[in-house]
Structure 1
Amino acid sequence: MNKTNVLSKVDHTILSPTATREDVERICQESITYQTASACIPPCYVMDMKTKFGEKLTITTVIGFPLGYMTTAAKVAEAKQAVADGADEIDMVINVSAVKSGEFDRVQSEIERVKAAVGSHILKVIIETSYLTEDEKIEMCKIVSHAGADFIKTSTGFSDAGASLADIALFKQHLSDGVLIKASGGIRSKADFEAFVEAGVARIGASSAISAFNGKEGHAGY
């Protein structure tokens, strides 16, 4: 599979709690050099990286990350701040506790409020698949579709497990037309990237795509 085609679908990611400013700048420069879909970076660096790299760089950042159980008001405030700072795309974590409690209306309302806050900016909704039953995953496909989000995303990369091809197939069965899929968590080898692209994902969140396609072993985690 063509390297350029795969990298164009990658959100080149650095979300480690120990990442330094130098690390973040490196990821951003690599994103520009290799023409990845975006660089996914911590919110605290969004303004600085947008100032440094300008329109050459598409920036994704995260809100409600990584556990998702902060209040809706906090997530909305985070989202508004991220957009004001220059983020182009937002990846939000759902309230998994609310899903496990069967509070699906609450989950949908939260996604709708965050989408309203980011407006035309792309919103990806992380449902943290490793914590959900198959029925809950199906319900989340319906909720994400109805709430007007642009993407459903598998994982934060911080939970028990990451993306699986089985979940991608499940999503494709239950998402509305127009809702795209982002796979993330545990995708490290060239074969992994090619398999998920072939499965139909529009984005992959990973820290190791460039190294994998340059013949180096991908490193674990975000």
Structure 2
Amino acid sequence: MNHLFPYIERTLLHPGVTINQQYEALDEVTQLGLAGLTVAPFWVKKFRRELGDNHPAVLSTVIGYPFGYQRTEAKQAELEWALRDGAGELEVVLNTSALFSPTSVWLKIELAKLVALAHAQETFFTVILESSLLDQDQTKAMIKLATDAGADFIKDKTGALPTHFSLDAALAFRRYVAKSVGVKIVADGATEAELEQLVAVGVDRLSISPLTP
């Protein structure tokens, strides 16, 4: 499985995550050469110190997690603090609630504001969709919205909702996203063969949570 390590992001966002679990994930990232570590905003400053400024692994955090329905101003404040604390990538949860309402026009405005802030600091920006809640047309529309806003990556799920990994759904998501935009797939429960298929079709990052006790 060594050949998959450069694609794997260890993701520690469940509410009961412990400091020991995070250190274990950090050890995996550094010893195995994983792509990165994704932690809650509270932990960014600490793990930036642990990784240092020049470590090749990416330290990511989430904004508006897990449902994305915070006010834009709240997301902006979260994003600015994450940048100050040393996040190397930002993953912003799309406001799915707004998508299902007549205020969906604000989604484009919000993403444009947040992308501009991130890119001004030369920081990669990911939009997270909760694709399990969306039909195919909605998924495609939100992928286009994120692409037009300037997202560097689009991620298929938050990982916060209880869903089973589906290779077919993940492959379809990759097809929907333009080749010019990176794709992250939440791959908890995927087999090694399935991970290899995702990488083969151009998935850039595999978000995998460590097994919890």
Paired with 2:6 and 2:137, the residues of 1 have a C-alpha distance of: 32
Identity %: 30
Q: Establish whether residue 111 from structure 1 lines up as the match of residue 111 from structure 2.
A: yes
Q: After TM superposition, give the deviation of residue 207 of structure 1 in Å.
A: 1.7
Q: Which amino acid aligns with 2:148?
A: H
Normalising by structure 2, we get a TM-score of: 0.89
What aligned pairs does 1:17-166 form with structure 2 within 5 A after superposition? 17-54=15-52, 55-56=54-55, 57-119=57-119, 120-161=122-163, 164-166=166-168
Deviation at 1:162, TM superposition (A): 5.3
Give distance in 1, aligned partners of 2:196 and 2:118.
31
Letter in 2 for 1:64: G
Q: Over aligned residue pairs, what C-alpha RMSD do you find?
A: 2.0
Displacement of 1:192 in angstroms is: 3.0
1:172 to partner: Cα distance: 4.2
Q: Counterpart of 1:12? A: 10
What residue ranges of structure 2 are gaps of 5+ in the alignment?
none
Residue 46 of structure 1 contacts residue 82 of structure 1 at CA under 8 Å; is this kept in 2? yes
Q: 1-side partners of 2:51 and 2:153: how far apart?
A: 25
d(CA) in 1 for partners of 2:198, 2:102: 30
For residues 43-90 of structure 1, give each alpha carbon's deviation from its aligned partner in whole angstroms, at most 9, with x where no partner exists. Answer: 111111111220224201111111111111111111111111011011
* Partner AA of 2:11 in structure 1: T
Contact 1:156 1:185 in 2 (8 A): no
Distance (Å, rounded) in 2 between the aligned partners of 1:188 and 1:172: 16
Separation of aligned partners in 1, 2:167 and 2:2: 22
Aligned to 1:195: 197
CA contact (8 A) 1:187 1:193 kept: no
Query: Does structure 2 conserve the Cα–Cα contact (< 8 Å) formed by 1:168 and 1:201?
Result: no
1:106 Cα deviation (Å)? 1.2
Q: Please give the secondary structure, in 2, of the residue aligned with 1:27.
A: helix
Could you tell which deviates more after superposition, 102-111 or 75-84? 102-111
Q: CA deviation at 1:161?
A: 2.1
Bigger shift: 53-62 or 101-110?
A: 101-110
- The C-alpha deviation readout for 1:29-50, integer Å capped at 9, x for no partner, is 2111111111111111111111
TM-score (ref. length: structure 1): 0.86
Instruction: Kindly provide the amino acid, as one letter, of the partner of residue 65 in structure 2.
Output: F
What SS does the aligned partner of 1:156 have? coil
Shift of 1:142: 0.8
Deviation at 1:102, TM superposition (A): 4.9
